[in-house]
Amino acid sequence: IIGIILNIFLAQYNLNKYDKTIKDYSGKTHNQMTKSDLVITWDYAEQFRKKLSSKEGFWSSLPSYDRFFLPSIIVGTYYYLIDKEIYEINGQEKVVKNKNYKFGLLLIQILIYYFSVFLLVKEVKKILHKNYHFFLLLFLSFEPTIIQWHSSLWSESLFISMMIFLFFLLIKNHKSNFLHLVCGI
């Protein structure tokens, strides 16, 4: 719980400090939190959100499967559900809006991460009957280079969460062929 609270404060701090529209060295305007590779992810998310809004259906609205698949679906679905636009026009340029409920996305990332940590630690506790699970919990909850991802909009936060969830599935003592299939996928 302390790790979740710490991450929430860090996420809010980063949003307050970096969720701004700035001009880069070439004069191009962009949101400071969604520059670089994130621009393409958020473009795909906006296209996905617009398709969902036009009632094309979820499956037919999905972006093409390439580099930015899952993060753009999450961002697009989030903004579709809260009924907010992602971009605004700033002069001649399209820029990700400032202060447009990005905290909800960060909160989702944080909760997914700590849920996967909870599942892993719970399973490790069953296997190792000593207090090793406590040290694993401390490490995964407070290690700075891991928790930095949850206060940014980069997809590494989701990757780390999925990796921890996969570790949970791999060490879980189960007989289900379905769970073996999920691990394989």
pLDDT band for 67, please (50, 70, 90 cuts). low
Q: Locate the DSSP E strands across the chain.
A: 21-23, 29-31, 87-90, 93-96
pLDDT band for 23, please (50, 70, 90 cuts). confident
What is the mean pLDDT of the segment spanning 85-108?
Answer: 84
Number of Cβ atoms within 10 Å of the Cβ of 61: 20
Is this structure's pTM higher than 0.85? no
Instruction: Determine the pLDDT at residue 145.
Output: 87
| Eight-state DSSP code of residue 151 | G
Q: Are 62 and 48 in contact (CB under 8 A)?
A: yes
What is the mean pLDDT of the segment spanning 120-131?
Answer: 85
Instruction: Determine the pLDDT at residue 147.
Output: 86
- Distances in Å between the Cα of 90 and the Cα atoms of 23, 43, 80, 83, 102 are 11, 16, 22, 21, 19
